[in-house]
Chain A
């Protein structure tokens, strides 16, 4: 009866075991839910952009809203130079958002509640932004580690601090998403367990908490996708427009 609240996060294989060069590449429930989220996005955007009518249908309206939302976010935070990176940030935002939202359905699996998934995404962004910075500015890009107007005595110390601050970006980006999703889903399960163990007499209070928490979790799911995308824009902005 009292099920483990962490059980929802277990990854298990679906189908046969696939091993290539000693690396386990089997299809798991995590991969399945990534495929589900990606297919929902593709289907939704395909149906939303199919008609292209002047008076939009509801689906087209939502699809256009997402487009405008991300486009405005990029132009507000990273300026017009970041326009070519719109497809990347849009797919990133949609993928994180839909993984979070699909995870809100009962009996589903939340892909973004695993740190390996979020860390790989964050590391990819981190490496990509660094490479873009070096391509655009060459070795001048290293000047982001040396703030102007610092006395020479303090310069080595400040540079080390700046480098640590730069390296902490992927960690904070991934931990934020992972921790929020995992904490929220664990809390939902814990309150759900209270409902069962307290029964008809005492279960109403945790049940009402569960309902409120579900609302909060949907807000958090959206908010975290937004924060993930906007921080990517901010990092991209730092790489594209050097200013210090």
Chain B
């Protein structure tokens, strides 16, 4: 027979373990949210920058619609590249 005191201490240890895990999970969720915010803006910002560069170059060289179209796609590629890089960095951290 195990005595009741032994059971109580074991229960206490188990409960504190669960509590610690919950705190850890909450911290992890916080950093996941940070990463999610990061990825979203990373993609959009590169597209915006690419389009703006295309717009400026179009005005310079008088090639109205073409460069903005090309640079829009280049910007999208840059955005995807950014997201892939950020995701790779996240995977390395885990």
Contacts and interface: CB of A to CB of B under 8 A. Distances in A.
Contacts of B48: 168, 171
B34 A168 contact: no
A86 B58 CA distance: 42
Contacts of B46: 164-165, 168, 172
A161 B78 contact: yes
A167 B42 CA distance: 11
Contact of A223 (B30, B53, B77): B30
Interface in A133-168: 157, 160-162, 164-165, 167-168
- Chain B interface size, as a band, is 20 to 34
A160 B45 CA distance: 16
B45 A168 contact: yes
Interface in A175-213: 175-176, 179-180
A161 to B, nearest CB: 5
A198 B43 CA distance: 39
Interface in B61-94: 71, 74-75, 77-79, 81-82, 89
Given A171-B48, A172-B42, A162 B37 contact: no
B79 A168 contact: yes
Nearest to A166: B78
A175 B45 contact: yes
21 contacts: A162-B78, A162-B81, A164-B71, A164-B78, A165-B46, A165-B78, A167-B53, A168-B45, A168-B46, A168-B49, A168-B79, A168-B82, A169-B45, A171-B45, A172-B41, A172-B42, A172-B44, A175-B41, A175-B44, A223-B34, A224-B37
Interface of A: 157, 160-162, 164-165, 167-169, 171-172, 175-176, 179-180, 219, 223-224, 226-227, 231, 234
* Complex A-B, nearest 8 residue pairs according to Cβ-Cβ distance, in ascending order: A172-B45, A168-B46, A164-B78, A165-B78, A171-B45, A176-B41, A168-B49, A168-B45
